Structure 1
Amino acid sequence: MPLTEEIHLRYNLYISHSWNHNDAHKDLDSLIKGRNDFDYRTYSLSPHHPVNQIKGERKLYETIKNKMKFCDAVIILCGVYPTYSRWINKELIACKDELNKPLIAVQRFDSSHTSFIVKDRADVIVDWNADNLINAIKRVVAGAK
């Protein structure tokens, strides 16, 4: 009888803070944290990072890109919030245009309250569900290798 061995992977994720609305980032982290079947590390850029005090948009972009560089996938919530204006385009350009990282869009609310630009650039769109999100991460990372 052959033995099967499960390979344990740690996923490096950039989880966007561009939608840091009502602690959505913490809620998303809590959604997937503590699962025995999923190990991950985040390389996200906190909204409290000192780069946010700098007026230069290029510095913010470079900081986002440098965080994303080491990630297997990027996760962005599809919500439409005013804070998108400073971050979201930089994250999308770094993710898709420069680093060619898989992008997972997460819909927390119904589609009438979601960002078209995020959904348009996403490799996959999932609803707010731990199993769906984890499966999407595993799928896009395996497809990127």
Structure 2
Amino acid sequence: MDKTYRLFISHSWSYDKNYQRVIELITEQGLKFYDHSVPKSDPIHTNGTDKQLYDAIESKMKGTSCILILAGVYATYSKWINKEIEIAQIYGKSIIAIEPWGSEKTSKVVKDAAHKIVKWQGKSIVDAIKELG
């Protein structure tokens, strides 16, 4: 029986294409998973308070196998990255940092918090999920 992994994929809504590509890379590898991420279409994203968004992220992260964070340089400047890392650590969740394809600079904040750092390749991402999730 195949395990279904419960994933929270941290991402900036400004970089939604990267998030969608990570979903594709995982799917192409045949991994069974449930995405706990807060979608761009969630009304909390556009109409909620910071507290409501924090609570939504926390609630989504609680039941996950592991947390995936896109480690692009923009992550360093996201006001939510540190909060997401903090929530992941509170709940003892493994963090996988995904370095964007061809990037020379990546987020030190994300990489320092990561249990595993992988490249922007489906097999690497799925291997890390299987190992830590």
TM value normalised by structure 2? 0.88
Segments of structure 2 that go 5 or more residues without pairing to the other structure are none
Return the letter of the residue paired with 1:118: V
> What is the deviation of 1:111?
5.7
CA contact (8 A) 1:74 1:104 kept: yes
CA contact (8 A) 1:21 1:81 kept: no
CA distance in 2, matches of 1:137, 1:15: 12
Moved segments of 4+, more than 4 Å = none
Larger proportion of helix = 2
CA contact (8 A) 1:19 1:81 kept: no
> Which residues in structure 2 correspond to 1:117-132 (within 5 Å)?
117-132=109-124
Is residue 2:76 matched to residue 1:76?
A: no
> What is the deviation of 1:108?
1.3
SS at match of 1:30: helix
Is residue 2:53 matched to residue 1:64?
A: no
In structure 2, relative to structure 1, the CA distance for the partners of 1:16 and 1:84 (3 Å cut) is farther
> What is the deviation of 1:54?
4.0
Higher relative contact order (CA 8 A, sep 6+): 2
Return the letter of the residue paired with 1:134: V
CA contact (8 A) 2:69 2:96 kept: yes
1:53 matched to which residue of 2? 46
In structure 2, relative to structure 1, the CA distance for the partners of 1:24 and 1:57 (3 Å cut) is same
> What is the deviation of 1:119?
0.2
Question: Paired residues, what number?
Answer: 133
The CA deviation string for residues 95-118 of structure 1, in whole angstroms up to 9 with x for no partner, is: 11x211000000114563210000
> What is the deviation of 1:47?
2.7
1:31 matched to which residue of 2? 25
CA distance in 1, matches of 2:66, 2:14: 19
How many percent of aligned residue pairs carry the same amino acid?
35
> What is the deviation of 1:74?
0.4
CA distance in 1, matches of 2:45, 2:18: 19
The farther-off stretch of 56-65 and 121-130 is 56-65
SS at match of 1:125: strand
2:106 matched to which residue of 1? 114
Please report the RMSD computed on the Cα atoms of aligned residues, expressed in angstroms.
Answer: 2.1
Is residue 2:132 matched to residue 1:140?
A: yes
The CA deviation string for residues 38-82 of structure 1, in whole angstroms up to 9 with x for no partner, is: 211100001331112346322211110100111100000100227
